[in-house]
A and B are shown apart, each in its own frame.
Chain A
Amino acid sequence: MDGEELTEQETALYDRQIRVWGADAQRRLSKSHILVCGLKGTVAEFCKNIVLAGVGSVTLVDDRVVTDESLPANFLILPHENHYNGKTLAEVCCDSLKEFNPMVDVAVETGDISTFGVEFFEKFDAVIISCCSLGKKKLINQKCRKLSKRVAFYTVECRGSCGEMFVDLQDYKYSKKKLEETIECQIEYPSFEEAISVPWRALPRRVSKLYFAMRVIEQFEDVEGRNPGETSIADRLGVLKLRKELCETNSLDESQIPDALLERLLTDTREFPPVCAIIGGILGQEVIKAISGKGDPLKNFFFFDAMDGKGLIEDISGPSTRS
């Protein structure tokens, strides 16, 4: 336990949440540094949540210039020309986020983080990326894993009424309450690359169809060189063809990745605000748990589909990391 006490200001502001996770967890949060890349609606929600929670700092990366397209699901962007004209997403979101909690350091980092060295990532306790290509996801995940310090790694993607979240806490030790006692636990996580390499036929039969559907689209974007999120209903035939190939390779029946599901994902490419709030909330909780070292973390995928209303956890890991 660190020697520093929470200030009077912190105790007053964080009273209600300290009653949830305790003063010790709050102290750890206040010393944590979070890197966030890809500022669409879901990630905006997540940033709001962790800024309110009182993390030490949030570093935002997104050099895309704000356009009318960015507005719909992102409440951090105020639609006044003066506010966003010419600015990047990171800059605009930074200004808004600072207002939520003056005690949190919110800053902007420019450039393509996949070109940054491993030392850059050492500054952080958690890295969250979104709107990233498959290649970039794997690369950043690897950089986090190369460090001697444990850096938690998360990705999120939301398409229409669906959302997916991935967690890699590497070799994770934490404490939790069992009955009246506090016990120590340990979980090993696979990297993103390891997880998605698990042969589909090796997965439990009831695995969420959304997992497979997202992999198909991800692969399609990778193979076709598309920007993340740019695949649309116009690509339907190409996507279905890829599905067929992948299912054959994996000995998976094509009905496990229904047409209707893929079509939904290709039609509603924009984020749906209620799903952003839900995924951003779950992600916020997970990061808070990982930093405070308290409570069962999610392993390792989370899926939500507004169509059936289920929010479920899937453990996609090879035999060595299966819990």
Chain B
Amino acid sequence: MASEEQISAIKGAKVLMVGAGGIGCELLKTLALSGFQDIHIIDMDTIEVSNLNRQFLFRQSHVGQSKAKVARDAVLRFRPNISITPYHANVKESRFNVDFYKEFDVVLNGLDNLDARRHVNRLCLAADVPLVESGTTGFLGQVTVHLKGKTECYECQAKPAPKTYPVCTITSTPSKFVHCIVWAKDLLFAKLFGDKNLENDLNVRSSDATNLSEHSEDVFECRKGEDIEQYGRRIYDHVFGHNIEVALSNEETWKNRNKPCAIYSKDVFPDKLTKENGKTEKGSTTEDVSAMASLGLKNPQDVWSLAENSRVFYESLRLFFSKRQKEIGNLTFDKDDQLAVEFVTAAANIRASSFGIPLHSLFEAKGIAGNIVHAVATTNAIIAGLIVIEAIKVLKKDSNNYRMTYCLEHPSKKLLLMPVEPYEPNKSCYVCSETPLSLEVNTHHSKLRDFVEKIVKAKLGMNFPVIMSGASIIYEVGEDLEEDMVAIYAANLEKVKFFFPCSKNIKTINMNLFSFLQNVGLESTGIFLLHFSSLNYFT
């Protein structure tokens, strides 16, 4: 392995790393130790305390600083003579274009989201630069190699999309704790503390026309002369009491389901609350504001009772309104906002209690609400080692030995690290294949806007499309567009018959669709054939 050929291939290589987090720290260290001398690294994040259990290049004193820059400094300490160029930036920025990627011999990803991975995949294909992809969760991990034309690209196999739940499950018939979390976070928290102009399904099925004089929008606004305790009780009673009773009145819903119980504050707290919340808050700064601290609840791993959850509900509500008044109306849920996590945990647990769903600790609730990925140092270290081994094969053009490697939690046929030969490209992959896509469009009803939003952006994932019909650009998105062009494109979006055929008798239109930054379709696919559903178009 330590042949002359290998040593010089490594020495002369220019490597791009995307991500300086869990995998990134381990990877940068291993690359440096392995003799790599020219490494570029992109990461837009700053360092947080929860990173320090595995991102070992960072220290407590670095919290808040750029991951890419601190990682570089840390590695230079034990390899002072190599070149590491950090970019504290989003990999989706336009300066990281095809020409930027073409400079590199190999690209190594250490990312944690699908969107960025797709972006890098497309740019590597456009630049024809090999890509080594990877990912870890807990004890599981994998490393995959992608070479244009030779192996699958990252998108050849569909990747699972993030889980979403039907609206009615969230608003009316939750059966799992996660449904309660989504309700508490995306509906209740958003309604009380977020942008009031945004649509919110909170009262969608709960207010029938029973009481027309009570405007459902006003329920969540604080009333004149109402103190925070009264407000708190009123909200509590509305969402956990009244709304449940209204739902119960619809017998059909509960035919085959367990009925929820309405919960009212007077049943949980007959007395005034302010007496019980006698403890003074620990600190006066925003960071210290915490309902748990104020109530003396010490352990985030404890599962609170209904009464304790209710206390946390009131106390967090009170603290938001008394200590963080200015932020109300602008808040979005952030897993690192302790008070927000406390509120969402409490609200989700009370709702769960109502529906007979088991309650969860703050620790567990935070993980669900924040989509926290559990992570340890060892898996990242193993994956980083495997990435470097593949990267070296790529540099040596040792194509017969490229492998996808899976790190398993439980061995399969004695194997804990399982290498598999890469697959050939998927011929119907719209990202990397030569096959044109075929779309059916109803030209009487579909506007260009529908096509752009539902197909181009949502399905094809092109964020900066340029759409040409024949030789004219009928729509584009980009920086530096002139105002009159922007207006023309906006008008085009509303058009129904948005294609201009060259000949009246043809039934298919060649349409060039390419993404300015991602180059999907420009060099390979380029042409989407549209088969029109209505034959009348041409008469």
The interface of chain A, by Cβ under 8 A from chain B, is: 5, 11-21, 23, 41, 45, 48-49, 52-54, 72-73, 75-79, 99-100, 102, 160-161, 264, 267-268, 270, 272-278, 280-282, 284-285, 288, 296, 298, 302, 304, 306-314
Q: How far is the CB of A163 from chain B (nearest CB, A)?
A: 10
Is the beta-carbon distance between B378 and A285 smaller than 8 angstroms? yes
Closest A-chain residue to B416, C-beta based? A311
Given contacts A11-B300, A52-B54, A278-B386, are A273 and B30 in contact (CB under 8 A)? yes
B394 within 8 Å of A by Cβ?
Answer: no
Q: Complex: how many Å from CA A310 to CA B405?
A: 8
A100 touches B410 (CB 8 A): no
A281 engages B378 (CB within 8 Å)? yes
Contact B56 A48 (CB under 8 A): yes
CA distance A277 to B380 in the complex (A): 9
A285 with B389, Cβ < 8 A, contacts A52-B377, A312-B416 known: no
| 20 A–B contacts from the bound complex (CB under 8 Å) | A5-B298, A12-B49, A14-B53, A16-B376, A17-B375, A19-B375, A20-B138, A49-B377, A53-B53, A76-B78, A77-B78, A78-B77, A102-B60, A277-B381, A306-B1, A307-B1, A309-B405, A311-B416, A311-B418, A313-B416
B283 to chain A, nearest CB (A): 14
A282 to B2, CA, bound (A): 23
- When chains A and B are docked, how far (Å) is the Cα of A20 from the Cα of B298? 22
CA distance A285 to B380 in the complex (A): 11
Question: Binary interface profile of B, 12-37, with partner A (CB < 8 Å = 1, else 0)?
Answer: 00000000000000100110111000
List B408-428 residues whose CB lies under 8 Å from chain A: 410-411, 414-419
For residue B410, which residues in chain A have a CB less than 8 angstroms away from its CB? Answer: 296
Contacts A16-B50, A281-B378, A309-B419 aside, 15 further interface pairs with beta carbons under 8 A come to A5-B298, A13-B49, A15-B50, A20-B374, A77-B78, A273-B388, A274-B34, A278-B385, A278-B386, A278-B417, A281-B380, A281-B382, A281-B385, A282-B416, A306-B389
Distance between A6 CB and nearest chain B CB, rounded to angstroms: 8
Chain B residues within an 8 Å CB radius of A312: 411, 414-417
Quick one: which of B30, B32, B372 contacts A19, CB cutoff 8 A? B372
B372–A16 contact, CB under 8 A?
Answer: yes
Assess whether B258 is interfacial by the CB under 8 Å rule. Answer: no
Known contacts A20-B376, A272-B1, A310-B415: does B384 contact A277 (CB below 8 Å)? Answer: yes
With beta carbons under 8 angstroms apart, the residue of B375, B384, B417 that contacts A310 is B417
A47 to chain B, nearest CB (A): 11
In chain B, positions 35-88 with a C-beta closer than 8 Å to chain A are 49-50, 52-54, 56, 59-60, 77-80
Interface centre among A73, A281, A284, A308 (most CB of B within 10 A): A281
Say yes or no: is B301 at the interface (Cβ < 8 Å to chain A).
yes
**In the complex, are the beta carbons of A288 and B414 less than 8 A apart?**
no
User: In the complex, are the beta carbons of B385 and A277 less than 8 A apart?
Assistant: yes
Q: A282 vs B373: C-alpha distance in the bound complex, in angstroms?
A: 20
Known contacts A13-B52, A49-B377, A52-B53; A275 and B414 CB within 8 A of each other: no
**B280-304, CB under 8 A of A: which get 1 and which 0?**
0000000000000000001111000
Question: CB of B403 within 8 A of chain A?
Answer: yes
Could you tell me which residues of chain B, from 342 to 391, have a CB within 8 Å of some CB in chain A?
A: 363, 367, 372-382, 384-386, 388-389
B59 touches A17 (CB 8 A): no
B139 part of interface (Cβ distance < 8 Å): yes
Q: In the docked arrangement, what's the CA distance between A211 and B298, Å?
A: 51
* Docked-complex contact A274 and B386, CB < 8 angstroms: yes
Residues of chain B with a CB closer than 8 A to A275's CB: 385
Residues of A within 8 A of B53 (CB): 13-17, 52-54
A15, A77, A161, A298: the one within 8 Å of B1 (CB): A161
A45 vs B30: C-alpha distance when bound (angstroms)? 10
* Cα–Cα distance between A306 and B6 once the two chains are bound (Å): 14
CA of A24 to CA of B26 in the docked complex: distance in angstroms?
27
**Distance in Å from the Cβ of A161 to the closest Cβ of chain B?**
4
Closest to B33 in A: A273
The smallest C-beta distance from A211 to any residue of chain B, in angstroms, reads 12
Contact of A313 with B375 at beta-carbon distance under 8 Å, contacts A48-B56, A100-B56, A272-B1 already known: no
Find out whether the CB atom of A160 lies under 8 angstroms from the CB atom of B414: no
The chain B residue with its CB closest to the CB of A287 is B378
Cα distance A306–B367 in the bound complex, in angstroms = 36
- CB-based contact A310/B419 at 8 Å: yes
State the Cβ distance, A3 to closest chain B Cβ, in Å.
13
Q: Choose from A13, A49, A274, A308 the contact partner of B378 (Cβ within 8 Å).
A: A49
Residue pair A16, B54 in contact (C-beta under 8 Å)? yes
For B411, the chain A residues whose CB sits under 8 A away are 312-313
Q: Which residue of A272, A284, A298, A311 contacts B377 across the interface (Cβ within 8 Å)?
A: A284
Closest 9 pairs between A and B when the two form their complex, measured CB to CB: A311-B417, A309-B419, A19-B374, A277-B385, A281-B382, A273-B33, A274-B385, A281-B381, A278-B385
Known: A274-B385, A310-B415. A53 touches B376 (CB 8 A): yes
With contacts A19-B374, A48-B377, A285-B139 taken as known, whether A99 is within 8 angstroms of B417 at the C-beta atoms is no
Closest B residue by C-beta to A270: B2
B64 to chain A, nearest CB (A): 15
Given contacts A13-B50, A310-B419, contact A281 B33 (CB under 8 A): no
B416 touches A302 (CB 8 A): yes
Interchain CA distance A77-B300 in the complex, whole Å: 39
CA distance A299 to B407 in the complex (A): 17
Is the pair A309, B33 in contact by a Cβ cutoff of 8 Å? Answer: no
A311 to B408 CA separation, bound complex (whole angstroms): 10
A48 vs B376: C-alpha distance in the bound complex, in angstroms? 12
Q: Quick check: A277 and B419 within 8 Å, CB to CB?
A: no
Residues of B within 8 A of A19 (CB): 138, 367, 372, 374-375
Chain B residues whose C-beta falls within 8 Å of the C-beta of A75 in the assembled complex: 29, 32-33, 78
CB contact between B375 and one of A16, A73, A77 (< 8 Å): that residue? A16
Report A-chain residues with C-beta under 8 Å of the C-beta of B26: 277
The distance from the CB of A165 to the nearest CB of chain B, in whole angstroms, is 11
What's the nearest-Cβ distance from chain A to residue B370, in Å? 10
Take A306-B1, A308-B419, A311-B415 as given contacts and tell me if A282 and B382 are in contact as well, using a CB distance cutoff of 8 Å: yes
Q: Is the CB of B417 within 8 A of A284?
A: no
Q: Are B56 and A281 in contact (CB under 8 A)?
A: no
Chain A residues contacting B54 (CB-CB under 8 Å) are 16-17, 52
Closest to B51 in A: A16
Contacts of A308 in B (CB 8 A): 419
| A residues in contact with B30, CB < 8 Å | 273-274, 277
How far in angstroms is the closest Cβ of chain A from B69?
18
- A276-B378 contact, Cβ under 8 Å, with A296-B410, A313-B411: no
A12, A73, A102: the one within 8 Å of B50 (CB): A12
B32 contact set on A, CB distance < 8 A: 75
Is the Cβ of B59 less than 8 Å from the Cβ of A268? no
Neighbouring A residues of B375 by C-beta, 8 Å: 16-17, 19-20
With a cutoff of 8 Å between Cβ atoms, the chain B residues found around residue A309 in the complex are 386, 389, 403, 405, 417, 419
Most-contacted residue by chain B among A5, A72, A310 (CB, 10 A)? A310
Q: When chains A and B are docked, how far (Å) is the Cα of A314 from the Cα of B411?
A: 11
Q: Of B1, B300, B386, which contacts A160 at CB under 8 A?
A: B1
How many Å lie between the Cα of A137 and that of B98 in the bound state? Answer: 55
State how many angstroms separate the Cβ of A178 from the closest Cβ of chain B.
11
A288 to B30, CA, bound (A): 22
B139: A residues at CB distance < 8 A? 20, 285
Contacts of A5 in B (CB 8 A): 298-299
- Which of the residues A72, A99, A264 comes within 8 Å of B59, measured between beta carbons? A99
Give B452-504 interface residues, CB cut-off 8 Å to A.
none
Q: How far is the CA of A71 from the CA of B411 in the complex (A)?
A: 34
Among A15, A268, A274, A298, the most chain B Cβ lie within 10 Å of the Cβ of A274
